Amino acid sequence: MATIIMKTVNGQQVRDTLSKQIRVYLCGDLAEPEAFESVKTDGLEIGVSHYDVNTAEKAHFHKWNHEYNIIRKGAVKVYVFNEHKEYEFHQDDMYVIEPGMEYVTKAIAGTEVLFVKSPGGNDKELLPTTDAILSWGKDWNSLMEER
């Protein structure tokens, strides 16, 4: 029988890296190496995003990935353009982004999100940035105007 070796990621290295950047990937078939030894996998990516300050991501969609997001602490708002609807998520909530779903997110300072992308790979397509999107992202309490 072949020897099977446990694959691990060091939590302290993850925390150290997150103190310098917003996002780390724990596993995947990554084009760019992480600052620590991540686990090479096919068909799945797992990572953590940590927002030290209020942060708005760029509006986008995924061509083929399903993205599963679990709020570990803090809060996230997601605006889904085709629904014309804003969602708000807090600790231990989970939301799923389906392929083709156009959306934008913002997080309050101190938020941490565990995400899983399946089947993985860089499939993000950015949407045009509008004044409405920029305004929504600047203030936690602002509402999305039509883009």
Q: How many helices (H) and strands (E) does the chain have?
A: 2, 12
Give the pLDDT score at 147: 58
The answer, yes or no, to whether residue 118 has pLDDT greater than 70, is yes
**Is there a domain that residue 81 lies in?**
yes
Domain carrying residue 24: 11-138
Tokens coding 14 = 């993850």
* pTM of the complete model: 0.92
**Is there a domain that residue 41 lies in?**
yes
Instruction: Grade residue 145 by pLDDT with cuts at 50, 70 and 90.
Output: confident
The answer, yes or no, to whether residue 117 has pLDDT greater than 90, is yes
Give the pLDDT score at 146: 67
**Is there a domain that residue 144 lies in?**
no
The number of distinct structural domains making up the chain is: 1
Give the pLDDT score at 30: 87
Q: Which of 129, 83, 78, 144 is nearest to 105 (CA)?
A: 78
pLDDT in tens, 43-93: 999 999 999 999 999 999 999 999 999 999 999 999 999 999 999 999 999
Three-class SS of residue 138? helix
**Is there a domain that residue 1 lies in?**
no
Instruction: Grade residue 33 by pLDDT with cuts at 50, 70 and 90.
Output: confident
**Is there a domain that residue 115 lies in?**
yes
Spatial separation of the C-alpha atoms in residues 128 and 125, rounded to whole Å? 10
**Is there a domain that residue 147 lies in?**
no
**Is there a domain that residue 4 lies in?**
no
CB burial class (10 A; 0-12, 13-18, 19+) of residue 49?
Answer: buried
Angle at 88 between CA 84 and CA 92, to 5 degrees: 140
Give the lowest-confidence range in 25-39, 42-56, 114-128.
25-39
Angle at 81 between CA 146 and CA 21, to 5 degrees: 105
Give the pLDDT score at 95: 98
Instruction: Grade residue 35 by pLDDT with cuts at 50, 70 and 90.
Output: confident
Helix (H) or strand (E) holding 94, with range, is strand 94-97
**Is there a domain that residue 6 lies in?**
no
Question: At 59, which CATH number?
Answer: 2.60.120.10
